[in-house]
Amino acid sequence: MTHKVSLSLLKLADYRNYAAVTLTLDPRHVVLTGQNGAGKTNLMEAVSFLSPGRGLRRAVLADIARVGAPGGFSIFAELEGMEGGVEIGTGTEGGDDGQIRRLRINATQAKSVDELTDHLRVLWLTPSMDGLFTGPSSDRRRFLDRLVLSLDPAHGRRASDFERAMRSRNKLIGEGRFDPSWLTGLERQMASLGVAMALARQEMLGLLGGLIAQGHGDPAFPSATLSLDGFLDGALHQPAIDLEDIYVGMLQDGRYRDAAAGRTLDGPHRADLMVRHREKDMDAGRCSTGEQKALLVGLILAHARLVANMTGHAPILLLDEIAAHLDAGRRAALFDRIDAIGGQTFMTGTDRSMFEALGERAQFITVTDGHLSV
C-alpha cells in the first residue's frame, strides 16, 4: 500500500515573477495552465525546492528573488508528508548576497537540507531534459545521480566528498608534489567514495530495470534498457573492497598521466548512463525526438513507481509542458499511469483542453502574469 504525499498549501513571497501568492490545494493532481511567461514553471520550481539541491532549473539562488526585491525570497509549504503533517519554509534573506538557503521544518532550523527527504521526495521532468540522450554525458550523470539521490539521500554527500578529495589530488599532482603518503591517503578516500557511488548507481539501475521489465509491452511508453559505462566496466559485481583496490591501483598508475592531463581521468565522474530503446533495440540517442520523449516519460514514471515501492510513499511528480509532445491516447495513458503511482502530480501546459481526460482527478489553476486563479 502506497501512501500519498500531498501539498495542501504553497505560499510564495518575492519568488521570481510572484510578489506574493497563496495556493490552497486538495490532494488531487494539479494542472497549471497559462500563456508563455505566466509563471507556470516558476511555480513548479518552487515545489522542487522542497527537495535538496538547486531545484529543477539548477538555479543560482541569487537569481530567484524577484527582481527589485532586496530581501530575498521565501517558499512556505504545508503538506501531508511521509511522517505526517509538516510545515516547510525555505528561501534566502537579504544581506548575504542571497546565496545561502535557509530551511525550517516545523518552525525549527534544519541542520541539513537532506532532512527534507524524511518528508517528501520530488521528481521532475522538464523540457530542458529533452536532449538528455544526445547531450553531454555530464547531463546524464547528473540525471542518474538524481535518480539515486531520491532513493538514497546519502548519495549527494558521497559525491561532494569525492569531488573534494579529487580536487585535492589534482592540486597535489598538478604542483608536482608526488608525496606518496599524502597521495595514497587521498586516493584511498577517493576509492571508498567512488566505489560506493558506482555501486549505488548500479543498484538503483538494477531495481529500475526490474520494474521497467515488469511493465514491458506498455504501448504508450516504450521501455528503456539502462546500463553504466566508463568506470569499472564489467567489474561491478565484485565485492566493494576488491573494487576499491582496483581503483586505487588505477589512480596510482595514472598519477603522471593525470598530472599531464590536469585532471583525474578515471573515476565515477567519468561514468555515463547508457539508455537503449528496448523494443527497437536501438540507442536512445538515435531514436526520433518523439520516441526519446516517450522513453524519458516512461523512465520517470518507472522511477516514481520505484520510489513509491521503496519508501512506501508516492513522490510528488512535476511534469512541465508534458502534454505538448503527446497525442491524446498517450496523454490519457499518462494520466492513468500517474494515478496508478498514487502521488500528487503537477502538470503544466498552455491549453486546459489538453488535460480534459483527467476530469475530476485534478484541480485546475490558471496562471496569469504572476497571479493564480481557480
Among 16, 141, 277, 278, binds ligand ADP (CB under 6 A): 16
Which span sits near ligand ADP by CB under 6 A: 29-37, 115-123, 245-253, 261-269? 29-37
| Residue 40 interacting with ligand ADP (CB under 6 A) | yes
Q: Which of 41, 48, 92, 292 binds Mg ion (CB under 5 A)?
A: 41
Q: Which is nearer to ligand ADP, 194 or 370 (CB)?
A: 370
The verdict on 48 binding Mg ion (CB under 5 A) reads no
Size of the site for ligand ADP (CB under 6 A): 16
Nearer to Mg ion, 66 or 119 (CB): 66
Give the Cα separation of 211 and 109 in Å (integer).
38
Which lies closer to ligand ADP via its Cβ, residue 66 or residue 119? 66
Q: Does 39 bind ligand ADP (CB under 6 A)?
A: yes
Among 7, 23, 34, 232, binds ligand ADP (CB under 6 A): 34
Pick one of 36, 109, 288, 353: the residue that binds ligand ADP (CB under 6 A): 36
Of 137, 157, 140, give the one whose Cα is nearest residue 197: 157
Residues facing 74 on adjacent strands: 13, 91
- 37 touches, from ligand ADP, Mg ion, none (C-beta below 5 to 8 Å by class): ligand ADP
Report the DSSP pairing between strands 316-319 and 102-105: unpaired
Contacts (CB under 6 A) with ligand ADP, residues 42-81: 42, 63-67
E strand or H helix at 243, and its extent?
helix 240-253
Beta 84-91 vs 371-373: how paired, if at all? Answer: unpaired
Q: How far from the centroid of its chain's Cα atoms is residue 39's Cα? A: 21
Nearer CB in complex with Mg ion: 57/141 = 57
Judged by CB, which is closer to ligand ADP: 34, or 81? Answer: 34
Cβ-contact 258, 329 below 8 angstroms: no
| Grid coordinates belonging to 279 | 523494443
Sheet with 74-81: strands ordered across = 18-24, 6-15, 74-81, 84-91, 102-105, 108-109
Residue 95, judged by CB atoms within 10 A of its CB (0-12, 13-18, 19+), counts as exposed
Give the residue with the Cβ less far from ligand ADP, 35 or 112: 35
Question: Which residues contact ligand ADP (rule: CB under 6 A)?
Answer: 16-17, 34, 36-42, 63-67, 367
